[in-house]
Amino acid sequence: MIVAQNLTKNFGKVEALKDISFEIGRGEIVGFLGKNGAGKTTLMRILASYLSPTSGKVLIAGKDIARHSLFARRNIGYLPETPPLYTNMTVREYLKFAARLKDIPPARLRPSVDKVMDDCRLRYVQNRLIANLSKGYKQRIGIAQAIINDPEILILDEPTSGLDPVQIQQVRKLMKDIEYKRTVLLSTHILSEIEQTARRILIVNRGKIIVDQSVKGLLGQYPGLTLEDIFLELNPPQAERADD
């Protein structure tokens, strides 16, 4: 489903990604970990076709996203760490706008908005301005815009960042409800989310993939350690980069 081949990304003299290659199969749920500045967000933006690599390529369902970017965007739902919301719109207005951007036909527009509001539990606030909603609701709206066109691939960058414990549980349950229908790439600093959700883990350090294996296999390789212990052992303290 997703094939990354020799991806490198430079920002001036800074090499954010260094010859990264991996494959993610249809229906896989993959946790993506790395310290700040490791290159996670850069890689996720490239996979989502929002950023071009300096070299290398990404294939989605066998098609090069550099040559078929519209195909890629129709098949990928992307939630950046800060959801792309227009806070002067109501929830329904914004989701209709997102549906139009994703080329949902007019005849399917209303049913698609209604379905995603039900999936993300947004009916109660559908006519409220986004600016007046809690961060938990804003995260749900961000997920709703990512899945409104029913994409096969879902890329989530820190979906529970900055939420309180109740909001985290609400968003985590929402992710559970939608994850089995799609290929999911999940980046988070909350390692318990990876253990509870993902079957496979990728760890990036200084722009390189240093771990690519099943969560079960990684925990078995370090008996008695938690995923957090393993992550810290594999990522000793270092000077953090400003880019990610």
In the prediction, which pLDDT does 20 show?
94
In the prediction, which pLDDT does 70 show?
81
Domain count for the chain, please give it: 1
Q: Of all helices (H) and strands (E), which one includes residue 46?
A: helix 40-47
Q: Which among 157, 166, 116, 115 has a CA at the least distance from the CA of 136?
A: 166
Structure tokens at 192: 């318990």
C-alpha dihedral sign at 32, 38, 43, 44: positive
Could you tell me if residue 128 is inside a domain?
A: no
| 63-64 β-sheet, strand order | 14-24, 2-11, 55-60, 63-64
Q: pTM score, two decimals? A: 0.85
Q: What is the mean pLDDT of residues 135-156?
A: 89
- Residue 66's domain comprises 2-84+155-234
Between CA 138 and CA 124 the distance in angstroms is 13
Could you tell me if residue 180 is inside a domain?
A: yes
Taking the CA atoms of residue 33, residue 34, residue 38 and residue 41 in that order, the dihedral angle to the nearest 10 degrees is: 40
Confidence of residue 178 (pLDDT cuts 50, 70, 90): low
Could you tell me if residue 89 is inside a domain?
A: no
Q: Report the CATH number at residue 39.
A: 3.40.50.300
Q: How many helices (H) and strands (E) does the chain have?
A: 9, 10
